[in-house]
Structure 1
Amino acid sequence: MARLPGPLLCGALLGLVCMTAPGRAVEVRVPAEPLSAPVGKTAELTCTYSTSVTDSFALEWSFVQLGKPISASTPILYFTNGQLYPTGSKAKRASLLQNPPTGGVATLKLADVHPSDTGTYLCQVNNPPDFYTNGLGLVNLTVLAPPSGPRCSQTGDTSVGGSAALRCSSSEGAPRPVYNWVRLGSLPTPPPGSMVQDEVSGQLILTNLSRASSGTYRCVATNQMGSASCELTLSVTGRMAGAVIGVLLGVLILSVAVFCLMRFQKERRKRPKETYGGSDLREDATAPGISEQTSGMAILAMGSWRSPPLPPL
């Protein structure tokens, strides 16, 4: 009989022991498909495991929000030393289907689910010295909710011949709602191709607008949980009407300017004019442009000047 090398013999014996000894591996099983629950109801997140439960057995449920990494998970509850400890913001709504969870069932019950409960839940079993083959299970939960009241808005050129875009969007709703635009009333049907809508984005494109395009438009957001709607009124104006309005506005501004100018001229004519007659002139009057100081200096100079004496006869 051939002899096996020492390390190879040890590995073979270890593998044989692992295959024959029951309960030496930790195996967690969760649903492969995502789970869903209506808003306000109780969700059951199934998790089962197989291991030889000992005093070192520990179970933990944690949660990570949609779009965040697993490393950002926060605890919901954990079971250790025969005691259950709910924790975190979901503590009052979280419980176990079986307590204590030592019979191979670790299913989590979450009551009164909210849209913010949508995300990934982690079921982790720890039972040393048992080794792990798969000690962690991930369960994806979607909380179903009807669409919130959508918001309607419009952009673009709403004059005759122009194009406009009507938009509609709900901030909440799962599954994601689809959007449908309808025009209210018994107005004529727009020409084919002049109304194009996208049910996913909630956008309605109106091209080659006419006065018949005016009216009230309603957007309905719908999913399997319900529907909600909003409305807006579209008013299409003629390009000629816009030009006429511009001309009238210009005439109005010009009329106001002329009125103000005429009033100014009228007030100016009412003011009395200051006139001076020849008899009103005084000897000490100062000529225009000559200051009083200059005039005084001239008078002093005249007083100090004497005519030269006449020669003797």
Structure 2
Amino acid sequence: MAMARLLGSLFCRSLLGLVYWTAPGPAVEVHVPAEPLSTPVGKTAELACSYSTSVTDNFVLEWSFVQPGKPISASLPILYFTNGHLYPTGSKAKRASLFQNPPTGGVATLKLTDVHPSDTGTYICHVNNPPDFYTNGLGLINLTVLVPPSSPLCSQTGQISLGGSATLRCSSSSGAPRPVYNWVHLGSSPTPSPGSMVQDDVSGQLILNNLSLASSGTYRCVATNQMGSASCELTFSVTDPSKGRVAGAVIGVLLGVLFLSIAVFCLIRFQKERRKRPKETYKGSDLREDAIAPGISEQTSLRADSSNGLLEKSPSASTVKTNNSKLPMVV
């Protein structure tokens, strides 16, 4: 009987020892905020993370980052804490630090200064403390960096004429969260009927149907998110094609009349200049080839030399007269 009691006691102790050595250690519990975190651009983000475990020499803390739309396996390291030392790494190393260093008191909060739009994504707080392997010790935090909308660009397409349709577009190149857009018709002119305006707040598109003269004017687009707003404006006038044709005809007639008036003016001026031109006169000192010398009778005959074309005076008809007397004849 005594031997049986001794064997039973040894068996119980061995079983308890086996249970002690094979039982898992305390579970690592990591706590992070359930709600997403948002921080304005340029500010400091604090990503709260706490844990509960019996810290040993094997304690390891790791922070990593996953870009939006990518799986956890594609995470990029930010910093490590192991063997009592902190090792920042990656592109965020200069801006990343721990709220409490060393993080052995149950607080593993990460501080990220001067946040950029590219810092938007998922951050992973991972605590590893062998032999506490009961859970994976992961905590996920979604961070959004808030950016005000940039100045949007306004544009238009379509036929801006009476009865036609046009599409106005508005878009900001940056802004987080994504801006919403609102179009407003400015001025004191009549506002287009509500049925002729179809607006999409997400895409920033405004469709104007059945354009009328009241559709003319200035339109303002305002891009807004929780960080602020920005706007752009666009102005156009609805044209009437029929009036355009009449105006074109009137302009053509006026141009024709103008050209005709210029031609008549030039002709009248040319005639006046021609009439004012002086007639050709001859002074006493001017000689003409066919002029008759004073005192010579017009009966003086000339004959042309057929061989050389020179004019000669006929010797037989040489009669000279003077105004007051006759010259004596010699026989």
Same fold, judged at TM 0.5 (above): yes
Identity %: 81
Alignment correspondent of 2:129: 127
Q: Does 1:157 align with 2:159?
A: yes
Matched ranges for 1:138-157 at <5 A: 138-157=140-159
Larger radius of gyration: 2
The alpha-carbon deviation at position 175 of structure 1 amounts to 2.2
2:200 aligned to which of 191, 198, 201: 198
Q: 2:189 is matched by which residue type in structure 1?
A: L
Match of 2:89 in 1: 87
Are 2:59 and 2:83, in contact at CA under 8 Å, matched by a contact in 1?
A: yes
Paired AA for residue 124 in structure 1 = H
> Secondary structure at the residue paired with 2:214?
helix
- Where 1:193 maps in the other structure, the secondary structure is helix
Shift of 1:243: 5.0
AA at the equivalent of 1:142: T
Give the distance between the partners of 2:219 and 2:236, measured in 1 at CA: 7
Of residues 170, 176, 185 in structure 2, which corresponds to 1:168?
170
Tell me the equivalent position of 2:68. Answer: 66
Q: 70, 75, 83: which is aligned to 2:77?
A: 75
Structural mapping, 1:1-313, within 5 Å: 13=19, 17-18=23-24, 24-241=26-243
Q: Secondary structure at the match of 2:63?
A: strand
In structure 1, the residue corresponding to 2:130 is in which secondary structure? coil
Question: Post-superposition shift, 1:234?
Answer: 2.0
SS in 1 for 2:92: coil
**Does 92-101 or 170-179 show the bigger shift?**
170-179
Tell me by how many angstroms 1:81 deviates.
1.2
How many Å separate the matches in 2 of 1:203 and 1:103?
54
- In 1: Cα distance, 2:247 partner to 2:158 partner: 20
1:76–1:16: structure 2 CA closer, same or farther, 3 Å change rule?
closer
Distance in structure 1 (CA, Å) of the matches to 2:247 and 2:29: 79
List per-residue Cα deviations over 1:58-87 (Å, max 9, x = no partner).
Answer: 111011111122122111111111111111
> Which residue identity does 2:175 align to in structure 1?
G
172-181 or 90-99, which moves further after superposition? 172-181
The answer on whether the counterparts of 1:144 and 1:173 sit within 8 Å (CA) in structure 2 is yes
1:27–1:132 CA contact under 8 A, matched in 2: no
Tell me the residue number matched to 2:305: none
User: Distance in 2 between the 1:235 and 1:225 partners?
Assistant: 34
Distance 1:198 1:242 in 2: 33
Report the alpha carbon displacement of residue 172 of structure 1 after superposing the two structures with TM: 1.7
In 2, Cα distance between equivalents of 1:243 and 1:88: 68
Count of equivalent residues: 238
Q: What is aligned with 1:254?
A: none
**Equivalents in 2 of 1:134, 1:34: separation in Å?**
21
Aligned equivalents of 1:37, 1:198: Cα separation in 2:
28
- Farther-moved stretch of structure 1 (24-33 vs 158-167): 24-33
Q: Judging changes above 3 Å, is the alpha-carbon distance between structure 1 residues 88 and 246 closer, same or farther for their aligned structure 2 residues?
A: farther
Kindly indicate whether the alpha-carbon contact (under 8 Å) linking 2:185 and 2:191 is maintained by their aligned counterparts in 1: no
Q: Aligned equivalents of 1:76 and 1:17: distance in 2?
A: 34
1:264 maps to: none
Instruction: Give the Å deviation of 1:196.
Output: 2.2
Partners in 2 of 1:50 and 1:78 — Cα distance?
18
AA aligned opposite 2:108? A
TM-score (norm 2): 0.66
> Any idea what SS the aligned residue of 1:131 has?
coil
Q: What's the offset of the Cα at 1:132?
A: 3.2
1:38 Cα deviation after fit: 1.4
SS of 2:135's partner is strand
**Structure 1 counterpart of 2:184, one-letter code:** V
Post-superposition CA distance 1:38-75 (Å, at most 9, x none): 11111111111112111111111011111122122111
Local SS of the residue matching 2:106: coil
Q: Deviations over 1:271-301 (max 9, x none)?
A: xxxxxxxxxxxxxxxxxxxxxxxxxxxxxxx
Unpaired stretches in structure 1, ≥5 consecutive residues: 1-8, 252-313
Q: Structure 2 CA distance, aligned partners of 1:67 and 1:242?
A: 55
2:211 maps to amino acid: L
| SS class of match (2:102) | coil
The verdict on how the C-alpha distance between 1:218 and 1:131 changes in structure 2, with shifts beyond 3 A counting, is same
Cα displacement (A) at 1:25: 2.1
| Corresponding residue for residue 290 of structure 1 | none
Q: Which residue of 2 aligns with 1:288?
A: none
Give the counterpart letter for 2:202 in structure 1.
V
- Which whole-Å CA distance do the structure 2 matches of 1:52 and 1:245 have between them? 91
Please list every run of at least 4 consecutive aligned residues from structure 1 whose deviation after the TM superposition is greater than 4 angstroms.
Answer: 14-18, 241-248
